[in-house]
Every structure is written in structure tokens, then in C-alpha cells.
Amino acid sequence: MTPAPGQFVMAIMQGEPAAHRIPLFPSSIHADGFSSTMLPEHWRPGDKLDLLGPFGRGFSPPGSAKRWLVASTLERCHTLRPLIEAGLERDLELSYWGQGSPALDPAVEVVVELGEGLEWADYAAFETGRGALAALQETWSGIEHRAEIQVLLISDLVCGFGACQACATPHSRGHKLACLDGPVFEAHELSPGR
């Protein structure tokens, strides 16, 4: 089955030991599957893969949202690309804020100030590691905005299905597992700065 935006599969090249399985997020979703730009360097076109999943909770923009901000603290905006594709297909207004300079569809307007983007948006999807979360939370709690915010938190996804606890994430209701309860969380669910 094809992962939805924000979901992932656990992948190995056929013949590799099971311990080498890695999380793979879609970078583009097609009618007949998906592609990803997050592949290990030793994989080659034509290699046969063994996939488990999809796993996790993906992005779920409200149907009424017409102005989406996609925002990344990572270099290449990997996991947000299928969401951008979905927004463009629905002819929505899209803006991007990020710390990298990924190649984007010209219809996506790049904003320089995160606060400005949030004030404009009615839905915002973030991709970030835990280290940058506190600064983001400070920004979105310090301005008036009406955007519903979801965050794909990059975590250590070792098993992908709840067995290893490596992806335990501080949460407003204790700890949650990014592989089962995330990796996309509502912004207000994530414990501040931890």
C-alpha cells in the first residue's frame, strides 16, 4: 500500500539483514506507488526492495483550509513534498518557509518570515527535528494566528511498529511513540522545548 503524506514504510533491499531496515518517507505519490529521495547511497535503480507498512499517522489538513503553509527546518524539505503536490492538485494557495532552499513548484510562494507565513495561513505543516522545536514553538505561540498546525517530528524510527521504544516522544499526555501516534502530531500536543 502507498503511504499517505507524512506516513512512512520500513524498507530494506532484498537480501539485506532485517536490522538494516530503514524508514522511507514518500517524496512524491503516484497512481501506481510512490518515490522517495531519502534512499541510502548504496541502493541502485532496479534493486528489489522489501517494504513493510505504511506506518504512522500522516498529515490531515482540514478540508476547509485554503491557505497552506509548509515549513521545514531541514535542508531539503523531504517529507512535505507529497503534501505540496496534494495542495497544488487541489488548487490551493501554498507558501513555503524553510531554512534550506529546495527546488519548488513556481506556484509555491516562498516567505522569509515564519510569523508572516503563519499569520497568512489557515493550515501549517512543519517538518523538523526535536532540536529546532523549541524555537518554532516560541514563534507560533508569540503571534496571533488562526492556522491549525501539525508537525512531522523526525525521530529514530528503528522498528516502525511500536516494539523498540526508540521513538518515544514527550507529549502533553506523557510519552507517545512517533511510529504509532505520529510521526505527525498536532502542535499543541508536543511538550514545549523538551
Residues that bind ligand FES (CB under 6 A): 157-160, 162-167, 177, 179
Chain-centroid distance of CA 188 in Å reads 16
- Going by C-alpha positions, the residue among 116, 190, 108, 99 that lies closest to residue 153 is 190
Is the CB of 8 or the CB of 68 nearer to ligand FES? 8
Q: How far is the CB of 154 from ligand FES (least distance, A)?
A: 12
Q: How far is the CB of 178 from ligand FES (least distance, A)?
A: 6
22 sits in which H/E element: strand 22-24
Distances (CA, A) of 97 to 18, 108, 128: 37, 10, 12
CB of 92 to ligand FES, least distance (A): 32
Nearer CB in complex with ligand FES: 65/166: 166
C-beta of 86 vs 166, nearer to ligand FES: 166
Q: Which is nearer to ligand FES, 24 or 179 (CB)?
A: 179
Nearest approach, Cβ of residue 181 and ligand FES (Å): 9
Would you list the DSSP string of 112-159?
Answer: S-HHHHHHH-SEEEEEEEGGGHHHHHHHHHSS----EEEEEEE---SS
